[in-house]
Amino acid sequence: MKIAIVQFNPIVGDMAGNARRIVEIAEEASARGADLAIFPELCIVGYSHHDLLDNDYVISSIEIAIKWIHERVPSGMALVVGTVRRNPSRLGKKLFNSAAFLQADRPAQYVDKMLLPTYDLYDEYRYFEPAKSQTPITFKGLKLGIHICEDMWNLEKYASYLLYERNPLSELIEKGAQLLINLSASPFSHGRHRLRTELIQDICAQHHLPFVMSNQVGANTEMIFDGDSRVHAANGDLICLAPSFEETVLYWDTFDHRPCPVPTHDRIQDLFDALVCGIREYDKKSGVFNHLLIGLSGGIDSAVTAALAVEAVGPLRVSGITMPSEYSSEGSVSDSQLLAQNLGISFHTIPIQPAVASFKDMLAPLFVGTTDGLAEENIQARTRGLALMAVSNKFGHLVLTTGNKSEMAMGYATLYGDMAGGLGVLSDVFKIDVYLLAEYINHRAGRPVIPISTIQKPPSAELRPDQLDQDSLPPYPILDEILRLYIEERLDFHAICDQLGHSEAFVRDILSAVDRNEFKRKQAAPGLRVSKKAFGTGRRMPIVMKYDRESLELLKLELSVEANA
Residue 475 lies in a domain: yes
**Chain segment 37-74, per-residue pLDDT in tens:** 999 999 999 998 999 999 999 999 999 999 999 999 99
Residue at a domain's end among 191, 226, 255: 255
Contact criterion met (CB below 8 Å) for 138 and 116: no
Asked if 287 and 226 sit in the same domain, the reply is no
Asked if 311 and 187 sit in the same domain, the reply is no
Across the range 353-363, mean pLDDT stands at 95
**Chain segment 280-302, per-residue pLDDT in tens:** 999 999 989 999 999 999 999 99
Q: What CATH number does the domain containing 49 carry?
A: 3.60.110.10
Asked if 241 and 290 sit in the same domain, the reply is no
Residue 262 lies in a domain: no
Asked if 233 and 333 sit in the same domain, the reply is no
Asked if 368 and 471 sit in the same domain, the reply is yes
**Chain segment 403-422, per-residue pLDDT in tens:** 999 999 999 999 999 999 99
Residue 562 lies in a domain: no
What pLDDT score does 159 carry?
Answer: 66
The model carries a pTM of 0.94
Residue 400 lies in a domain: yes
Asked if 417 and 338 sit in the same domain, the reply is yes
Nearest partner of 335 among 350, 326, 327, 324, judged by Cα: 324
Asked if 27 and 64 sit in the same domain, the reply is yes
Residue at a domain's end among 221, 255, 289: 255
**Chain segment 107-121, per-residue pLDDT in tens:** 999 999 999 999 999
Q: Report the amino acid identity of residue 67.
A: K
Contact criterion met (CB below 8 Å) for 250 and 229: yes
What pLDDT score does 52 carry?
Answer: 95
Residue at a domain's end among 255, 283, 318: 255
Residue 564 lies in a domain: no
What pLDDT score does 286 carry?
Answer: 93
Q: What CATH number does the domain containing 280 carry?
A: 3.40.50.620
What pLDDT score does 88 carry?
Answer: 94
Asked if 89 and 116 sit in the same domain, the reply is yes
Indicate if the pLDDT at residue 160 is higher than 70: no
Confidence of residue 462 (pLDDT cuts 50, 70, 90): low
Residue 261 lies in a domain: no
Asked if 531 and 487 sit in the same domain, the reply is yes
Q: How many CA atoms lie within 13 A of 354 on its CB side?
A: 3
Asked if 229 and 353 sit in the same domain, the reply is no
What pLDDT score does 553 carry?
Answer: 76
What pLDDT score does 466 carry?
Answer: 72
15-31 and 56-70 helices cross at what angle (nearest 10)?
20
Indicate if the pLDDT at residue 468 is higher than 90: no
What pLDDT score does 552 carry?
Answer: 76
Across the range 316-334, mean pLDDT stands at 90
More confident site: 563 or 98: 98
Rounded CA-CA distance 192/129 in Å is 27
Total of domains in the chain: 2
Confidence of residue 465 (pLDDT cuts 50, 70, 90): confident
More confident site: 459 or 324: 324
Rounded CA-CA distance 435/296 in Å is 16
**Chain segment 13-35, per-residue pLDDT in tens:** 999 999 999 999 999 999 999 99
Mean of per-residue pLDDT scores for the chain: 94
Residue 559 lies in a domain: no
At 95, give phi and psi (nearest 5°).
-130, 155
* Full domain range(s) for residue 148: 2-255
Q: Which residues are catalytic?
A: 41, 113, 149
What pLDDT score does 550 carry?
Answer: 74
**Chain segment 337-349, per-residue pLDDT in tens:** 999 999 999 999 9
What pLDDT score does 186 carry?
Answer: 96
Indicate if the pLDDT at residue 463 is higher than 90: no
**Chain segment 523-535, per-residue pLDDT in tens:** 999 999 999 999 9
Buried b (16+ CB within 10 A) or exposed e, 80-106: bbbbbbeeeeeeebbbbbbbbbbbeee
Asked if 224 and 286 sit in the same domain, the reply is no
Asked if 412 and 458 sit in the same domain, the reply is yes
Q: Report percent pLDDT > 90 for the chain.
A: 85
Rounded CA-CA distance 109/103 in Å is 9
Residue 309 lies in a domain: yes
